[in-house]
Amino acid sequence: MKRKVSKAVFPVAGLGTRFLPATKSIPKEIMTLVDRPLIQYAIDEARAAGIREFIFVTSRGKSALEDYFDHAPELENVLRKAGKDHLLEALKATNMESGAIAYIRQHRPMGLGHAVWCAKRLVGNEAFAVILPDDVIAAEKPCLAQMVEAYAETGGNIVAAMEVAPSQASSYGILDIAEENGPLVRAKGMVEKPAAGTAPSNVAVIGRYILTPRIMQNLSRIKPGAGGEIQLTDAIAAEIARGGNVFGYRFRGQRFDCGSKAGFLKATVAFGLAREDLGAEFWDYLAEMFAMRRAAQ
């Protein structure tokens, strides 16, 4: 019997201070990449992986996020009367059926591990996914779907992994690798944001996880780590110490860090150029801008 994952946790309680003043009035997750908010990319990826229950860990000021996934009868009626069926179809992806989505509050900013722990009762005694909407991944097969396929064969805990420059390792959780098997690497340890020159490898963990219920138990016991926060990486490292299977999965695709301004701009260019309805015009504009810049030098 193949293992399945049907629940996903979306930690969206952060203030998004790197995008002020925009995030003064709107949640960071609602910021638009081309014509879809970041959270929509995360939801679409989860759906493609077979996720059926969506758990949002929020905070004050996130009501716009909840409204986004609600039905909008007045808007739908206007579009229907205007015969704009293509826009009605686009809205369908933003609607969540009653009972499919749940919101819980993280009352204090105590880190990613604490945010995931807040979903403990809703997750229950089954494996679950964690998706960080800041990490947007362009892939032919969505990243989480790739991981779910791997999980069906291996079980245990799986984290999305990619190689980074050694100079960037201190910005990530880093895997200490025991053995490699194609895209899968078995971890013998994990370190959150290691000091420069101390990283055990250059294989970094990014914002996709498939985790067992024991991770929640670990989160209940661990003390604050890097930055004085409850780190999810520490809970996964504790599972390795207990002999649990923890794997890194080198996904096929390109990851964009949309939690940074430069990463968001890079993602906008990449996703804009990939669009059939926008790519050619956008490419011509970028080529023109590049030519003007070269001429001015």
The residue-averaged pLDDT of 224-239 equals 82
User: Residue length, the chain?
Assistant: 297
- In sequence order, what DSSP letters do the residues of 56-69 get, joined into one string? EEE-TT-HHHHHHT
Q: pLDDT digits over 62-97, tens only? A: 788 888 888 888 888 898 988 888 888 888 878 777
Chain-centre distance of CA 273, in angstroms?
A: 22
Structure confidence at residue 15 (pLDDT): 79
Considering the domain 7-259 in this protein, what is its CATH number?
3.90.550.10
Q: Hey, how many other C-beta atoms are within 10 angstroms of the C-beta on 193?
A: 16
Which pLDDT band holds residue 231 (cuts at 50, 70, 90)?
Answer: confident
Domain boundaries, the chain: 7-259
State the chain's mean pLDDT as an integer: 89
Which pLDDT band holds residue 146 (cuts at 50, 70, 90)?
Answer: very high
Q: pLDDT digits over 198-224, tens only? A: 888 888 999 999 999 999 999 988 877
Cis peptide before 21 (omega within 30 of 0): yes
Structure confidence at residue 248 (pLDDT): 94
Paired sense of beta strands 36-37 and 32-33, if any: antiparallel
Q: CA 184, 171, 44 angle in degrees (round to 5)?
A: 60
Structure confidence at residue 194 (pLDDT): 84
Paired sense of beta strands 135-138 and 173-181, if any: unpaired
Q: pLDDT digits over 246-272, tens only? A: 999 999 999 999 999 999 999 999 999
Q: Are 278 and 272 in contact (CB under 8 A)?
A: yes
